[in-house]
Amino acid sequence: MIDALTEVVLASGLQRPDLRAYIFFTPPEASMTADVAAAS
């Protein structure tokens, strides 16, 4: 399931491999934090 916030994070991840890796190698709870950070 991909929502709007996830799309924002994934788009950011395309330019920030470190963020992309963080998203894919952390549990959903941590990914929610990444969503908030990327959206702000």
Helix (H, G, I), strand (E, B) or coil at 19: helix
Q: Which domain holds residue 17?
A: 4-39
pTM score of the predicted model? 0.27
In terms of phi and psi (left: phi > 0; alpha: psi -120 to 50; beta: otherwise), the region of 2 is beta
Q: What is the pLDDT of residue 27?
A: 63
Rounded Cα gap, residues 18 and 1, in angstroms? 22
Tell me, what's the pLDDT at 6? 76
Using CB atoms within 10 A of its CB, is residue 21 exposed (0-12), middle (13-18) or buried (19+)?
Answer: exposed
Q: How many domains does the chain have?
A: 1
| Per-residue tokens: 14 | 């395309």
1-40: per-residue pLDDT in tens? 567 877 777 776 566 656 656 656 556 665 566 666 666 6
